[in-house]
Structure 1
């Protein structure tokens, strides 16, 4: 990416269409889309065929990239769609085009009025069982939030917008929709016969319960059903769901590192739940990330299989990932890196013994810090305050 081609703050552009689409009525859908479960990403198979897995250049990173089929796509046609300034933050809504799929929507936040080079943070949204929104859950803008983003901020982020808080702390924060979320969601308007059957069953269940889900909630439920087909297709194409998500994240990291006003020598990342898993992978795949915060996304693989197979999505249960190492081993900081892992003592998604075993496996590693909180599967205010202090210390914000 050519940093000099980046549009100036305040440029006026046309906003991309970021509304996920799905069939209105499973019983009345047209013939399946010719791209099948990859509708909206018809160009993805050809891209995977002509590229090879990313090679970070170290044994662990190379093994991980190979196991997950991670690629290194480049963002093109980067646009500023909208700007605002509010409550100590200067914000920009951005978009860019990767070599496959729809345009990526993202938000860049900075402390108001500051144009000097700042440490950069890649903010990674959680899975959350939703795909109608992605990074918007982390960001407060000058516009009315998507209802799902507002609900996630209320329920899992203690009512806060973490990206805004970190921007006020002196960071340039980039939060992007990743592969299959938000603006990068798949087109589900013409489902395959198999997915249509699953949709019909879900519709019947809603009717039986007297439920009338919103369009966003309906899309989220159907996207969860679609994830199985998506993971299957990714595996047959030499990648994986986790690998495709990591590929989007690496492209976003390149965007962040090359933005004017970002110090590429001071890069970090953070995330809750699936976002924490993405942070683990990003730091293992790119050593430029020197500080990482992983919230409620750490346990040994042995503690998750078989009891917790249905608890987590394909984003964690990725075929072949154990060939690259156990989850704590993949999170172990490399030379010049540091990681804070935050555990929720009452997290219902990770067994206590698995979290304790992971902490024990990481204890003593240079650059590792672990903390246990009286919390469930959330990023509480106390966790966020600890994370902000950790990132400020490690990245000299």
Structure 2
């Protein structure tokens, strides 16, 4: 359907495909555990997060020293969430739990599957039917090229489980199983996609279904941001809702120590980690990779390098982007890539200087890498070592034995 077809149609297609129930849910708002977290939640417009969400385990497989479980759960609006829980196959005792937050990457047809290695010879849903796990694509359409380009070819969640963590990686709002339905295309999105289709024809390119969806989703993100603003929310706030819900599930999964929870993410996933740690006291340690700068450094040349995950209305009234780290009591590692094409070096160095001055050394570690916008295996190894230290078991405090002479019995 073209933009002209939509304009001539007696009724326009939904601009909120799969999410027509989102507006009704927005009457409920998230209640945070502290005044600072509540201020941030109110600014971002985080919807209410349902606690003790039931989840379904669809299938489990053991391979490469880990057990990978395919989960799903239903949030209060939108399509069902799918996720992967990966942990060591021979774990003894409760493990530190990590939420692995997938990047933006300009690819929304997929979500957390870019972080998970599935055994060869299985399909994408590990044997579960498409009706059980809506919106999934075959394994051969997994974004392995994104993994190779951005993560050094490593399936991050699977690798972290091999290092001794229990890892949950979930699709968040707008991605993978939580993506919007864009068939038929909304009116404004159709106009943008028609232009991309003309470029493909001129270049003699026959785009795949995934490429066509990603092109439409890129144009549609502006419409999603408009809807979120109209509803008193934001893209980042609604994503944070999904991430808070996933964190609550991680804390209850078998073999996870709920007192030793952390998160990490690259690029847009790093921004999600920063926001999540500021919103939830459950996070004890987190890593932000290639997603730290000052707001001032984005103007004027770097403004259009980023998605709506970074550009949240009203956020600057609470302070600068690095100030989000000061809203959390967790230990933070920020990894900066000096050749990052999305951030100016001075902005990264200014953010590091600010955080080094604002936070005590035990709460902030800045790490500089001579790399472009990537999360290399060496960076991942540094992140894993940091999280292992940050999530060590806390010393047990033994209560003194009661003085029987001062008791009633």
Same fold (TM over 0.5): yes
Structure of higher CA gyration radius: 2
Give 5+ residue unaligned stretches, structure 1. Answer: 1-22
Does residue 214 of structure 2 align to residue 238 of structure 1? no
Taking the aligned partners of 1:33 and 1:269, their CA distance within structure 2 comes to 44
Normalised to the residue count of structure 1, the TM-score between the two structures is: 0.89
Q: Which of 139, 164, 189 matches 2:116?
A: 139
Query: What is residue 159 of structure 1 aligned with on the other side?
Result: 153
Corresponding residue for 1:12? none
Q: Equivalent residue of 1:385, what SS? A: helix
The answer as to whether partners of 2:13 and 2:184 remain within 8 angstroms in 1 is no
Matching residue within 107, 123, 126 for 1:130: 107
The aligned runs of 1:122-271 (5 Å cut-off) are 122-142=99-119, 143=122, 145-271=139-265
**Which residue number in structure 2 is paired with residue 40 of structure 1?**
18
| Distance change in 2, residues 1:331/1:340 (3 Å) | same
| 2:365 is aligned with 1:369 | yes
Structure 1 residues 277, 33: closer, same or farther in 2, change over 3 A? farther
1:191 and 1:33 map into 2 onto residues whose CA distance is 13
Q: Which residue does the alignment assign to 2:127? A: none
1:100 partnered with 2:104: no
Q: Which residue of 1 aligns with 2:404?
A: none
1:106-156 Cα shifts (integer Å, max 9, x gaps):
000010132631111000000001101000111101236453421111110
Match of 2:407 in 1: none
Aligned 8 A contact 1:110 1:172 in 2: yes
Q: 1:25-48: per-residue Cα shift (whole Å, max 9, x none)?
A: 878789698772111011110000
Distance 1:82 1:146 in 2: 19
Whether the 8 Å contact between 1:32 and 1:192 is mirrored in structure 2 is: no
Matched residues in 2 for 1:286 and 1:76: separation? Answer: 17
The answer to whether the 8 A contact 1:332-1:368 is kept is no
Deviates more, 1:304-313 or 1:154-163: 304-313
Query: Could you tell me how far 1:73 is from its partner in structure 2?
Result: 2.2
Q: Determine if contact 1:35/1:42 at 8 Å carries over to the other structure.
A: no
Q: How far did residue 213 of structure 1 move?
A: 1.4
- SS of residue paired to 2:284: strand
- The farther-off stretch of 75-84 and 175-184 is 75-84
Deviations 1:70-101 (A, max 9, x none): 12322744111111000110110100000101
| Corresponding position: 1:387 with 2:364 | no
- 2:109 and 2:4 mapped to 1: Cα distance? 22
Match of 1:14 in 2: none
Instruction: Tell me the distance in 2 between the aligned counterparts of 1:280 and 1:371.
Output: 16
Q: Decide whether aligned partners of structure 1 residues 77 and 302 sit closer, same or farther in structure 2, where only a CA change above 3 A counts.
A: same
Q: CA shift at 1:324, angstroms? A: 2.0
Q: Distance in 2 between matches of 1:396 and 1:57?
A: 24
Residue in 1 that maps onto 2:338: 345
Is residue 54–residue 66 contact of structure 1 (8 Å, CA) maintained in 2? no
> Helix, strand or coil: the match of 2:205?
coil
Q: Are the counterparts in 2 of residues 333 and 339 from structure 1 also a CA contact under 8 Å?
A: no
**Aligned partners of 1:107, 1:243: CA distance in 2, in Å?**
23
Taking the aligned partners of 1:346 and 1:225, their CA distance within structure 2 comes to 27
Superposition CA RMSD, Å: 2.0
Name the CA shift for 1:33/1:317 in 2 (closer, same or farther; >3 Å).
farther
Instruction: Tell me which residue corresponds to 2:43.
Output: 67
Secondary structure in structure 2 of the residue aligned to 1:322: helix
Mapped to 2, the partners of 1:193 and 1:43 lie a distance apart of 20
Cα distance in 2 between the residues matched to 1:282 and 1:55: 11
| Cα separation, partners in 2 of 1:138 and 1:244, compared to 1, 3 Å | same
Q: Give TM-score scaled by structure 2 length.
A: 0.87
Could you tell me whether the CA contact under 8 Å between 2:290 and 2:337 is conserved in 1? yes
Bigger mean CA offset, 97-106 vs 195-204? 195-204
Contact 2:200 2:206 survives alignment (8 Å): yes
Which whole-Å CA distance do the structure 1 matches of 2:60 and 2:22 have between them?
A: 31
CA contact (8 A) 2:285 2:391 kept: yes
Q: Provide the rounded CA distance (Å) in 1 between the counterparts of 2:11 and 2:217.
A: 16
Shift of 1:62: 1.9
Q: Is the 8 A contact 1:33 1:191 kept in 2?
A: no
Structure 1 stretch 194-203 or stretch 279-288: which is displaced more? 194-203
Give the structure 1 partner of residue 55 of structure 2: 78
